[in-house]
């Protein structure tokens, strides 16, 4: 860093170099030492001060640094004799930015630019400040100024980008684009155009105004050669022609691209779309950025007459034929797939023949059936076939596998492909149980038989047939779903663990496994596997969904805190540095990236997961401190008493959230975080097809919005509940000298109203329902899907009622106490009563049990603590006699009863936990293994026996050293013990939470 400094602020470089050297080598104390003589020699140098501030900030002395910065700023503004240069300002800027005072840095630059209006360095610095602040209008203004001074193309483009940003990411109207266009036109007239990116931006500007003709003129004119790669130019040309509606010309351009790049599938779709003039293809190039891109091939029906349609498709066939003849190597797949697409279009147009489509598919299979991507290549085409045709196709593919003489690797690949196709067409979900099992066994056998193919591969390389074990696992999970026989679940786990013992890097196995372990209350083990995926940086946004939701309803608070912290840190760091990277794009003239970076930052800022994580982090803190009201109040204070989240809750409905999770990598049984088919009964063909998957995702996204709205009320409601409860006794409050603001009570009432609305009820109806359920008039089923929310509602309702006494009137002033206490106990009793032993009850409701204790019960204990605190006034002596005293006695009694009741409730959980923990590991482990060893014709164990015979046999088959060692090391007993151990860890964590709650309640009771 030091190297970039010459004479700065009038200080010779030799004097500042030691400071920079010390900073670069992180010797901040040393750097500070050097600052002292410098400042005594140059007491009025803003640069010297800026350096000192920089050092102080790096040492963590933020306040001192800030005050030194302010001194420097003051000097800049007031002392006319000081030198103002970019070095001084940029050094100050760094410190101000790190101290979250971007505005100060900006005003320094603004001041300097006012003083030296033609200094380009300072203006660039100011531009950079505006980039950091996302002030697009100001960016534009300063860029124009720079452009006027030096007439350089880049500054004009900076201005143009700033205008585009106003329109795309700000409030700018579209007519601004016209202004930008005018600026460019004028510039070109006098200076021409030199940068390829400038041309791209100009064209995008015209496209945004639908001026496709103008854009084409530009591209095909003399500037077109700025785009040096011919296919890139042609693709752009094709897109403009298509969007402008000139299908014939677009078709011939896309044809040219295909002749140059015969494997460009997207281009073929554009070509075909333009050829057949379907509307969908006329907006080519607007990239679908959804994480679940709808296939652009869906539902395109041409409006052409039959004759025209036929003749155009025959043109397409000729082109494809030509491409096939010219294709030089056997890796070009596009033309083969193109044939299938042509047949599909015919079918869509009502002129097709499903047999021909099947033939084309088989032809494709002959060539590429061994590739791992074959099934996903053809997936879209399969959906157009009816069930009969699908079945016929499958039979033919199986025949092909037997017929094609080829090498064993290819044969294996083809077999795998057939299994995958079976899965795609849904036939795996219609098979009778025994066939399903036979298939799983077959897959496993195939994997084992083909292991020798991989014996010479490097340990890092993926092995042949790895897909087989994932597929077998999927079938075993289905068997488990359909039969509820735990042995199948055990087998599905064993098979994955086995695969990972053979090669430990297979992330597909790890993801399946972590979901299976999560389902089976073995979250610590699930988390272990998750950690081996090394999810970091941007993957935290797209991959965390595999573990985060489960963790948040678990007793693993420390791990949950880590996950949330790492994720939020990543996101916040990105928001902090993103603008600097945008400026980098400006500097390097990658103008299209400027727009992209700003849009991407916005996408992440609107991330539903990001918002959720921010709320959940705070709620988790509240949960962790809920045993101690003073500590809880500390947390609440740091959360501004929940007010910020309240604002988020208000706004969430109008925000357009982004959903950036890569859901495709989730297992079939849990396509979204809030869906787990294994928790539902198997109902025939209810398998998640593409369509239901899409609906499921939409539902799930809508639910997330509601959940954010609801959860962000929570911190404020906890705060208000504590306040209301503490004022349940006006006399005590007065005795403590605290005045309660009745507005807080009305606020809580309003929030209760909103909370009830989110749950789909009016406040009155919600209260009515609670009363009816508690008195047994209504069935509690109404609550089952939102159990925790309802319990939270009740707890907050009680807190509010303690002050307002509005719910149950004067006759039964504290009736809501009783309702809360009894309902909490009832549900806990229901839960622990219905949950079997963990080791034999996958999918049991442990998460809800944990949530009951750590949320509603925790908040309820806080309410109790708050009442107790107000009941025992600090400092002043209690008044004796009078109605207040009687009231105190009554409340005290109610508190005592509540404490007792909550203790009993938690005790029920403790007892259940202890029953679970006390059983020996051997016993549990054996019970897991025994589910595999039932010696029956039917039922689980067959897949396991395939693995067992492979690992225990001393066959002559040569697997190579590495695989042989792995096979020998594998042990089902070890795995079963790991599961038990993991469950035990989860239970112990939960037990600790329960213990601490009981302890704190007992202490409170003693104090009363």
Partner 1 sequence: MTTIRRFSCNDLLRFASVNLDHLTETFNMSFYMTYMARWPDYFHVAEAPGGKIMGYIMGKVEGQGESWHGHVTAVTVAPEYRRQQLAKKLMNLLEDVSDKIDKAYFVDLFVRASNTPAIKMYEKLDYVIYRRVLRYYSGEEDGLDMRKALSRDVERKSIIPLKRPVTPDELEYD
User: What whole-number distance in Å separates Cα of residue 418 and Cα of residue 438?
Assistant: 15
**Which residue number, 307 or 961, has a Cβ lying nearer to partner 1?**
961
Which residue, 254 or 912, has its beta carbon nearer to partner 1? 254
Judging by beta carbons within 10 Å of its beta carbon (0-12, 13-18, 19+), is residue 833 exposed, middle or buried? Answer: exposed
Minimum distance from residue 652 beta carbon to partner 1 (Å) = 21
Q: Cβ closer to partner 1: 72 or 242?
A: 242
Q: Which is nearer to partner 1, 186 or 603 (by Cβ)? A: 603
Q: What φ, ψ does residue 812 adopt, rounded to 5°?
A: -130, 70
Distance from C-alpha of 30 to C-alpha of 19, rounded to nearest angstrom = 8
Q: Site size for partner 1, by CB under 8 A?
A: 64
Q: Within its chain, how far is the Cα of 670 from the centroid?
A: 15
Phi first, then psi, for residue 780 (nearest 5°) are: -75, 0
Among 225, 321, 355, 376, binds partner 1 (CB under 8 A): 376
> Which residue reads 């008195």 in tokens?
775
Q: Closest approach of Cβ 365 to partner 1, in Å?
A: 15
Residue 329 or 630: the one with the smaller Cβ distance to partner 1 is 329
What DSSP letter does each residue of 590-606 carry, written as one string? Answer: -HHHHHHHHHHHHHHHT
Minimum separation from the CB atom of position 331 to partner 1 (A): 5
Is 920 a binding residue for partner 1 by CB under 8 A? The answer is: no
The DSSP secondary structure of 470-494, one letter per residue, reads: HHHHHHHHHHHHHH--HHHHHHHHH
Q: Is 373 in the site for partner 1 (CB under 8 A)?
A: yes
Using the contact rule CB under 8 A, the part of the chain among 300-308, 366-374, 512-520, 987-995 near partner 1 is 366-374
Give the C-alpha separation, 415 to 397, whole Å.
9
Among 115, 191, 588, 999, binds partner 1 (CB under 8 A): 588
How many of the other CB atoms lie within 10 Å of CB of 430?
Answer: 13
283 binds partner 1 (CB under 8 A): no
**Which position among 458, 630, 683, 956 is part of the footprint of partner 1 (CB under 8 A)?**
458
Cβ nearer to partner 1, comparing 539 with 739: 539
Of 93-101, 307-315, 328-336, 938-946, the window that binds partner 1 (rule: CB under 8 A) is 328-336
Scan residues 204-233 and list those touching partner 1 (CB under 8 A): 228-229
Looking up tokens 């000097």, which residue turns up?
75
Name the one residue in this structure whose structure tokens are 């213990």: 995
Stretch that binds partner 1, among 301-309, 434-442, 598-606, 722-730 (CB under 8 A): 598-606
Tell me the longest C-alpha to C-alpha distance in the chain. Answer: 105
Q: Identify the residue among 64, 121, 259, 266 touching partner 1 (CB under 8 A).
A: 266
User: How far is Cα 100 from Cα 75, in angstroms, rounded to an integer?
Assistant: 21
Task: Tell me which stretch binds partner 1 (CB under 8 A): 396-404, 435-443, 586-594, 915-923.
Answer: 586-594
| 3 counts as binding partner 1 under rule CB under 8 A | no
- Which residue, 81 or 288, is less far from partner 1 as judged by CB? 288
Q: Which long-range contacts (CB under 8 A, 24 or more apart) does 663-670 make?
A: 663/291, 663/292, 663/545, 663/697, 664/291, 664/292, 665/511, 665/543, 665/546, 666/511, 666/515, 666/545, 666/546, 667/474, 667/477, 667/511, 667/512, 667/515, 668/474, 668/477, 669/477, 669/481, 669/515, 670/515
Site string for partner 1, 693-732 (x = CB under 8 A): ----------------------------------------
Rank residues 287 and 880 by Cβ distance to partner 1 and give the closer one: 287
Q: How far apart are CA 600 and CA 591, in angstroms?
A: 14
- Residue 864: C-alpha distances to residues 419, 744, 873 (Å): 60, 18, 15
Out of 24, 74, 103, 289, the only residue in the binding site for partner 1 (CB under 8 A) is 289
Residues 518-547 touching partner 1, rule: CB under 8 A, are 533-539, 541-543
- CA 491 from chain centre, in angstroms, equals 30
Range in contact with partner 1 (rule: CB under 8 A) among 103-111, 396-404, 590-598, 849-857: 590-598
Q: How far is CA 999 from CA 179, 584, 620, 634, 902, in A?
A: 71, 57, 20, 21, 12
Residue of 3, 78, 286, 288 that binds partner 1 (CB under 8 A): 288
What distance in Å separates the CA atoms of residue 410 and residue 371, rounded to the nearest whole number?
8
Out of 173, 287, 877, 936, point to the residue binding partner 1 (CB under 8 A).
Answer: 287
Structure tokens at 536: 């970091």
Give the pair of three-digit tokens for residue 324: 């096939």
Residues, the chain = 1008
Nearer to partner 1, 535 or 824 (CB): 535
| DSSP alpha helix (H) spans, 808-957 | 815-834, 846-854, 856-871, 882-918, 921-933, 942-952
Among 85, 181, 377, 731, binds partner 1 (CB under 8 A): 377
Whichever of 466 and 632 has its CB closer to partner 1, that residue is 466
Question: Toward partner 1, which CB reaches closer, 53 or 535?
Answer: 535
> Which of 111, 115, 149 lies closest to 126, judged by CA?
111
Q: Which of 333, 329, 202, 327 lies closest to 264 in space, CA to CA? A: 333
Cβ proximity of 172 and 161 under 8 Å: no
Told to check if 621 binds partner 1 by CB under 8 A, we report: no
Q: Please, which residue, 264 or 808, has the CB nearer to partner 1? A: 264
* Nearest of 179, 175, 178, 180 to residue 161 by alpha carbon: 180
Among 86, 278, 343, 466, binds partner 1 (CB under 8 A): 466
User: Residue 329 corresponds to which tokens in the numbers above?
Assistant: 């190597």
The one segment of 138-146, 582-590, 618-626, 878-886 that binds partner 1 by CB under 8 A: 582-590
Select 269 or 615, whichever has its Cβ closest to partner 1: 269
- Of 264 and 921, nearer to partner 1 (C-beta) is 264
Name which of 599 and 746 has its Cβ closer to partner 1. 599
780: contact with partner 1 by CB under 8 A: no
Torsion of CA 830, 833, 839, 843, to 10 degrees: -20
Query: Residue with structure tokens 């372990």?
Result: 517
Query: Distance from first CA to last CA of the chain, Å, rounded?
Result: 64
Per CB under 8 A, the list member of 112, 334, 516, 688 interacting with partner 1 is 334
| Three-class DSSP category at 114 | helix
Selected binder of partner 1 within 77, 265, 366, 682 (CB under 8 A): 265
Among 27, 141, 380, 439, binds partner 1 (CB under 8 A): 380
Q: What three-state secondary structure class fits 607? A: strand
**Residue 333 binds partner 1 (CB under 8 A):** yes
Applying CB under 8 A, which of residues 83, 304, 362, 584 lies at the interface with partner 1?
A: 584
SS3 for 967-988 is HHHCCHHHHHHHHHHHHHHHHH
> Candidates 259-267, 345-353, 771-779, 940-948 — which segment interacts with partner 1 by CB under 8 A?
259-267
Nearest-approach distance from CB 42 to partner 1, in angstroms: 34
Q: CB of residue 656 vs partner 1: minimum separation in angstroms?
A: 16
Query: CB–CB of 163/180 below 8 Å?
Result: yes
Least distance to partner 1 from the beta carbon of 423, Å?
14
- Residue 222 Cβ vs partner 1, minimum distance, rounded to whole Å: 19
CA 956/CA 950 separation, integer angstroms: 11
Contacting partner 1 within 648-677 (CB under 8 A):
660, 662, 664-665
- Give the residue with the Cβ less far from partner 1, 214 or 467: 467
By the criterion CB under 8 A, which residues form the site for partner 1?
Answer: 228-229, 263-267, 287-289, 291, 293, 295, 329, 331, 333-334, 337, 371-373, 376-377, 379-380, 457-458, 460-462, 466, 505, 507-508, 533-539, 541-543, 573-574, 577-578, 581, 584-585, 588, 590, 592-593, 596-597, 599-600, 603, 660, 662, 664-665
């Amino acid at each position: 860093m030091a190297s970039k400094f010459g004479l700065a602020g009038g200080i010779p470089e030799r004097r500042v170099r030691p400071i920079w050297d010390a900073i670069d080598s992180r010797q901040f104390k040393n750097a500070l030492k050097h600052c002292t003589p410098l400042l005594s020699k140059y007491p009025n140098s803003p640069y010297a001060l800026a350096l000192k501030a920089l050092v102080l900030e790096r040492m963590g002395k933020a306040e001192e640094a800030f005050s030194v910065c302010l001194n420097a700023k003051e000097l800049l503004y007031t002392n006319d004799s000081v030198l103002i240069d970019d070095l001084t300002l940029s050094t100050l800027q760094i410190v101000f930015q790190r101290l979250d005072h971007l505005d100060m840095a900006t005003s320094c630059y603004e001041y300097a630019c006012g003083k030296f209006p033609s200094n380009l360095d300072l203006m660039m610095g100011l531009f950079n400040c505006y980039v950091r602040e996302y002030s697009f209008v100001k960016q534009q203004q300063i860029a124009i100024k720079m452009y006027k001074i030096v007439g350089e193309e880049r500054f004009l483009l900076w201005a143009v980008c700033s205008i585009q940003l106003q329109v795309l990411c700000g409030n700018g109207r579209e007519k601004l684009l016209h202004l930008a266009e005018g600026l460019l036109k004028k510039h070109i007239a006098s200076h021409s155009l030199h940068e390829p990116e400038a041309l791209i931006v100009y064209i995008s500007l015209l496209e945004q105004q639908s001026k496709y003709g103008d854009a084409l003129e530009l591209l095909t004119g003399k500037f077109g050669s700025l785009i040096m790669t011919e296919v890139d130019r042609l693709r752009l040309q094709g897109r403009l022609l298509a969007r402008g509606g000139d299908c014939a010309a677009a078709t011939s351009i896309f044809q040219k691209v295909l002749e140059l790049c015969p494997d460009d599938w997207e281009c073929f779709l554009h070509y075909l779309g333009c050829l057949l003039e379907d509307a969908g293809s006329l907006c080519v190039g607007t990239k679908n950025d959804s994480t679940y891109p709808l296939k652009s091939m869906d539902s395109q029906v041409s409006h052409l007459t039959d004759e025209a349609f036929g003749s155009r498709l025959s043109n397409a066939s000729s082109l494809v034929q030509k491409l096939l003849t010219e294709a030089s190597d056997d890796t070009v797949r596009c033309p083969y797939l193109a044939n299938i697409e042509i047949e599909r279009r015919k079918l869509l147009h009502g002129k097709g023949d499903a047999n021909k489509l099947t033939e084309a598919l088989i032809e494709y299979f002959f060539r590429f059936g061994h590739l791992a991507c074959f099934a996903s290549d053809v997936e879209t085409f399969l959906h157009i076939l009816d069930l009969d045709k699908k079945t016929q196709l499958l039979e033919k593919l199986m025949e092909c596998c037997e017929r094609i003489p080829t090498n064993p690797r290819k044969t294996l690949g083809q077999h795998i492909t057939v299994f995958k196709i079976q899965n795609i067409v849904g036939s795996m979900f219609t098979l009778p149980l025994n066939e399903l099992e036979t298939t799983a066994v077959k897959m496993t056998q195939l994997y084992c038989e083909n292991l020798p193919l991989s014996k010479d591969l490097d340990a890092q390389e993926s092995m042949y047939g790895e897909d087989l074990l994932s597929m077998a696992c999927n079938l075993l999970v289905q068997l488990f779903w359909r039969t509820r026989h735990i042995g199948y679940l055990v087998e599905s786990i064993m098979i994955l663990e086995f695969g990972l013992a053979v090669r430990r890097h297979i992330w597909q196995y790890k993801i399946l496994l972590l979901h299976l372990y999560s389902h089976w209350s073995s979250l610590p083990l699930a988390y272990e596997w998750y950690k081996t995926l090394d999810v970091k940086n941007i993957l935290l946004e797209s991959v965390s969904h595999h573990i985060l939701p489960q963790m948040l309803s678990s007793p693993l608070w420390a791990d949950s805190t880590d996950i949330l912290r790492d994720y939020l840190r990543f996101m916040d760091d990105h928001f902090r540095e993103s603008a600097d990277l945008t400026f980098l794009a400006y500097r390097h003239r990658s103008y299209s990236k400027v727009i992209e970076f700003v849009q991407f930052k916005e996408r992440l800022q609107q991330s539903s997961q990001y918002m959720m994580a921010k709320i959940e982090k705070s709620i988790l803190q509240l949960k962790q401190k809920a045993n101690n009201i003073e500590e809880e109040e500390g947390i609440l204070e740091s959360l501004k008493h929940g007010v910020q989240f309240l604002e988020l809750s208000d706004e969430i409905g109008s925000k357009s959230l982004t959903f950036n999770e890569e859901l495709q990598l989730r297992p079939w049984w849990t396509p979204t975080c809030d869906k787990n088919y294994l928790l539902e009964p198997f109902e025939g063909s209810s398998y998640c097809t593409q369509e239901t998957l899409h609906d499921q995702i939409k539902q799930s996204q809508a639910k997330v919005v509601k959940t954010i709205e609801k959860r962000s009320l929570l911190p404020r409601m906890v705060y208000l509940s504590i306040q209301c409860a503490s004022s349940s006794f006006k006399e005590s409050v007065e005795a403590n000298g605290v005045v309660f603001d009745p507005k807080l009570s009305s606020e809580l009432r309003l929030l209760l109203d909103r909370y009830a609305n989110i749950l789909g009820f009016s406040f009155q109806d919600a209260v009515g329902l609670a009363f009816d359920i508690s008195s047994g008039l209504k069935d509690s089923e109404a609550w089952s899907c939102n159990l925790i929310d309802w319990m939270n509602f009740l707890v907050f309702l009680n807190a509010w009622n303690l002050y307002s006494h509005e719910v149950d009137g004067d006759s039964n002033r504290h009736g809501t106490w009783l309702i809360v206490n009894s309902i909490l106990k009832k549900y806990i009793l229901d839960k622990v009563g219905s949950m079997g032993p963990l080791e034999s009850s996958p999918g049991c409701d442990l998460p809800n049990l944990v949530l009951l204790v750590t949320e509603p019960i925790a908040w309820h204990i806080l309410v109790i603590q708050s009442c107790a605190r107000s009941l025992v006034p600090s400092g002043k002596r209690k008044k004796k006699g009078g109605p207040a005293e009687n009231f105190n006695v009554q409340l005290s009694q109610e508190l005592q009863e509540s404490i007792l009741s909550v203790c009993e409730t938690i005790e029920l959980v403790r007892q259940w936990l202890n029953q679970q923990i006390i059983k020996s590991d051997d016993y549990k482990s054996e019970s897991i293994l025994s589910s595999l060893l039932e010696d029956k014709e039917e039922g689980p164990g067959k897949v396991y026996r395939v693995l067992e015979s492979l690992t225990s046999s001393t066959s002559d088959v040569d697997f190579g050293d590495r695989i042989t060692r792995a096979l020998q090391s594998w042990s089902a007993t070890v795995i079963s013990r790991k599961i038990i151990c993991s469950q035990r860890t989860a239970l112990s964590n939960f037990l600790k939470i329960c213990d601490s709650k009981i302890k704190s309640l007992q202490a409170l009771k003693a104090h009363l």
